[in-house]
Chains A and B, each alone.
Chain A
Amino acid sequence: MKFLKKLILSFVFAGVMALGSTSANAACKVHLGDFDWDSANVHTAIVGFIIKNGYGCEVEVTKGSTSPIMAAHYDGQLDVITEVWRDNIVQMHEEAVAKGQIIELGVNTPSSTQGFYVDKATSDKYGLKSVEDMKKPEIAKLFADPEAPGKGRMTSCISGWTCYTINLVKHKVYGLDEFYTNFDPGSGGALDAAIAGAFKKGKPVFSYYWTPTGLMGKVDLVQLKEPAYDNACWTEMMAVVEKIKADGPDAYTDTCASAYVDMALTKSATTKFANDPANKPIIDFVKQYSLPTAEVNKSLAFYIDESGGDMEATAKNYLKSSDSWTKWVPADVAKKVKAAL
């Protein structure tokens, strides 16, 4: 009896599924994961707009901070992520790829930089051009850390992201740790607020930061020179970084260090979603999707200053003002998207 019941149920289920896929284009559904920083919002908005209007799918967006969104993505609840800071969550991400939970869909912004920054006014006044220039007690005093007397503060990456540990190692290698604390701001919003607050008050600020970001367009930060990126050196340093992440800061051993490599921000989709033949056109499009930094910065400026945080208006603005996106999609889809503008 039980077997029969199951059989009938599975037939019904299969029937429903078949029905669903025959009317596929109208009933398909894509769940996008989005994050709490602006460049991810922009990518999600553009991709979402094209999927919705070009492919006629229902698009749902869920926004959150890195860990919950990525956890839901690995779990199969969120189908596509359009901006993954892969290098920051490299362990988790590679594990999920190895387990077959997700597949990677290539790069979304070819070159994005990260590094140590100082505000322009202070940099000009004291001639701060490279990390070596920072290693003076009187310079450290400018960036005084009120919670660690005698030291300056470098607002660092969020602890738990790999860049925090990388910064920790770099501080030691460059000899910055004698003068500065590697201060964990706790969250992306807090890091932005710390930099923006310093600029509003006209105070010196020394911080880890990255582009493309909306804040970068508004404040004048100068990147400090570090030893040029070198692959062998980076690999050696990352080995130490992984050891520290596993065993704590005492596991530090002497290493070499170099500037951050231009990071690749990637895209990914769940294996479940990508393997469904109905979703193939969408996966093909997301694979093609790639926006140069200059375009991202333009969209970010529009997103933050002109649209008042309206994601859809930002997507429309980009799609109207540029033609680069027509290469990513078949002609008929492009037509539909244009019609929706």
Chain B
Amino acid sequence: MGKYKKYINLVYLAIFVGMVVIAYTTSKYRPESVLVLFTDPSWLGDWPKWLDFPLMPFLNKWFDILIVKYGIMFEGINFFLLGLYGKMKNFLVGLPWPIVMISVILLAYFASGRQTGTTIMVAFCVFFLGFLSPRYWDKCIMTTTIVVIGMLLCLVIGIPIGIMMARNKKVRNALLPILDLMQTIPSFCYLIPGILLFGLGAVPAIFAIFVYAVPPLIRLTDLGIRLVDKEVIEAAEAFGASKKQKLLGVQLPLALPNIMQGINQCTMMALAMVVIASMIGTRGIGDEVLLGLQQLNVGMATEAGIAIVLLAIIFDRITQSYGERMQERVHHTKEKKK
């Protein structure tokens, strides 16, 4: 690898020249012959029309192939996620509301390590979801279901990727630009293709949640594992721990507070996305905001907006307080070790 390194810039140059040549030869606006470019310098004024890399037709063609050839695969993913979503949603919507409310409160109570303050706050927020408008209760359940499924998907895929990144520098260098891309590309760039692939409804929203919310989880998992004290790892190695033992027994437990923070961020971003997703026909509390805005009904939009904030507080308090408990436990064991 090392001896080719000095040629790398030449390779980049060749790729660049190749792209310009492709742009020139495929453009329908190109001058009759290349010589015109030298005799008539007017193309130096405005950006010339022939200097246009044909990325759009290429992407369109590629996307068509994706739909036509691999449609079955997406259909399968669609079927699986939709089944999961439908079952979970119908179950929760079917339960009487006090039972749902009590289970959320109990979850908050145990997750926060029996803190009364957090529990009361969560209970208050849950009650206010329905209290703001009875319509909101079922819609909040739909939103929650989508967020939870999106989050599970993020966990299952994001944490292993985060671990891989922490252990291998090359993987990290390759993945970081992709994560940047996922976080900055405007959401409609993948929401509308999501409809073409999965159809309207919950699944493109889950897909969008994944794209939007998984980067912070991956980053924080990676960071958490890399921040584990070197001495601790050396000690583990000195005791003859295998790679697997080191990971599962030392690195992951010590990185847990950071990972929990990642999960918390992941949830918040998922919730933000699920509101935008109402613009692609995803049912949930985001509908109400959109409907309010479409009718210029500021009160209605704000009321629904408050419900989303309450939902966010519930998610945040439960994951955050659970994370804090993890942190305490980690510090506890550290102190014991000392």
Contacts and interface: CB of A to CB of B under 8 A. Distances in A.
A200 B74 CA distance: 14
Contacts of A155: 200, 281
A66 B296 CA distance: 10
| Most A C-beta atoms less than 10 A away, residue of B85, B188, B196, B200 | B200
Interface in A131-162: 146-147, 149, 155, 158-161
Contacts of A190: 191-192, 195, 200, 279-281
Contacts of B281: 155, 183-186, 190, 194
Contacts of B279: 186-187, 189-190
A159 B196 CA distance: 21
A155 to B, nearest CB: 7
Interface string A84-107: 000000001000000000000000
A67 B199 contact: no
A71 B298 CA distance: 11
A193 interface: yes
Contacts of A194: 195, 199-200, 281
26 contacts: A66-B294, A67-B295, A70-B296, A146-B82, A146-B201, A149-B86, A158-B294, A159-B287, A159-B291, A161-B294, A183-B281, A184-B281, A185-B200, A185-B280, A187-B280, A189-B279, A190-B200, A190-B279, A190-B280, A194-B281, A197-B67, A197-B196, A198-B199, A200-B68, A201-B67, A201-B71
A181 to B, nearest CB: 10
Contact of B294 (A160, A185, A200): A160
B51 to A, nearest CB: 15
A184 B68 CA distance: 26
B188 to A, nearest CB: 7
Contact of B283 (A147, A187, A196, A201): A147
A36 B103 CA distance: 44
A157 to B, nearest CB: 11
Chain B interface extent, by class = 20 to 34
Contacts of A160: 290-291, 293-295
A312 to B, nearest CB: 13
Contacts of A184: 281, 287
Contacts of B202: 147
A186 B282 contact: yes
Name the residue among B202, B279, B282 with the largest chain A CB count within 10 angstroms: B279
B267 interface: no
Contacts, number: 86
Cβ-closest 9 pairs across A and B: A160-B294, A197-B196, A193-B195, A190-B280, A187-B279, A185-B281, A186-B281, A186-B279, A160-B291
A70 B294 CA distance: 10
Contacts of B85: 147
A193 B192 contact: yes
Contacts of A186: 200, 278-282, 287, 290
A70 to B, nearest CB: 8
Interface in B61-91: 64, 67-68, 71, 78-79, 82, 85-86
Interface residues of A, number: 28
B163 interface: no
Interface in B197-211: 197, 199-202
Nearest to B72: A201
Interface string B277-312: 011111100010011011110000000000000000
A132 to B, nearest CB: 26
A158 B281 CA distance: 9
A149 B191 CA distance: 24
B192 A189 contact: yes
Nearest to A189: B192
A184 B200 CA distance: 9
A194 B280 CA distance: 9
Nearest to B203: A146
A176 to B, nearest CB: 18
Contacts of A147: 82, 85-86, 201-202, 283
Given A190-B281, A197-B199, 17 more contacts: A67-B296, A146-B78, A146-B82, A147-B201, A159-B287, A159-B291, A160-B295, A161-B294, A183-B281, A186-B287, A189-B279, A190-B279, A193-B192, A193-B195, A193-B280, A197-B196, A201-B71
A196 B280 CA distance: 14
Interface string A187-210: 101100110111011000000000
Nearest to B292: A160
A161 B293 CA distance: 11
B287 A197 contact: no
Nearest to B71: A201
B78 to A, nearest CB: 7
A197 B291 contact: no
Nearest to B294: A160
Contacts of B71: 201
Contacts of A201: 67-68, 71
A36 to B, nearest CB: 10
Nearest to A148: B86
Contacts of A197: 67, 195-197, 199
Nearest to A188: B279
A184 B193 CA distance: 18
Given A71-B296, A146-B78, A185-B280, A193 B196 contact: yes
Nearest to B201: A147
Contact of A200 (B67, B78, B278): B67
A200 B85 CA distance: 26
Contacts of B64: 200
A200 B287 contact: no
